[in-house]
Homo-oligomer: A and B are copies of this chain.
Amino acid sequence: VAQERIMAWLNLLQTHRVVLESIEAKLGVAAGLTAAEHEVLARLAIAEGGRLRMLQLANLLLLSKSGMTRLVDRLVGAGLVNRTTLPSDRRVVYAEITRSGRSALQRSMDAFADGVDEAFGRHLSDADVKTLRRLLRKVLEGSGHWEEERCSPRLRTAV
């Protein structure tokens, strides 16, 4: 019934909170990063030239433009990212991962994977994970919010 749908949503909400909290705890002690900061570094590291436009980043993380400006502000302040402009179109600002950013990412990468595994993956079989992903994809596609690059990035292992 409809009740079942509502409770499924309730459980998704709770799972989100619980798992995120666990991931952020691990990331915090290992690299002093929030989950969002880690994801920016991870996205930049696999991008062509180690850089992405601000708007592209905001889109990938489902964040507002101004939210991304502030997030990058923090990363620049920590020396993990630079802002760059190319002469071709000087309206566009690129965020570019620094050498220091790549080494921070190496540390946070393991913490992140640990966090995901501990709170999320450990209790699910490989088949469960596949099923879960298939269902979530169905939801996202159904509401028109699936984008290959955002939802299914090729994750390079090499940093």
Contact = CB atoms under 8 A, between A and B. Distances in A.
Give how many copies assemble into the complex.
2
> Interface SS of chain A: helix, strand, loop or mixed?
helix
A52 B155 CA distance: 46
A116 B9 contact: yes
A22 interface: yes
A3 B155 contact: yes
Interface string A121-141: 111101011111101111111
A78 to B, nearest CB: 23
30 contacts: A4-B133, A5-B116, A5-B117, A5-B120, A5-B124, A6-B112, A6-B155, A7-B152, A8-B121, A8-B132, A9-B121, A10-B153, A11-B137, A12-B15, A12-B19, A14-B62, A14-B151, A15-B139, A18-B143, A19-B143, A119-B139, A119-B143, A122-B142, A123-B141, A123-B143, A124-B139, A128-B138, A131-B131, A132-B135, A135-B135
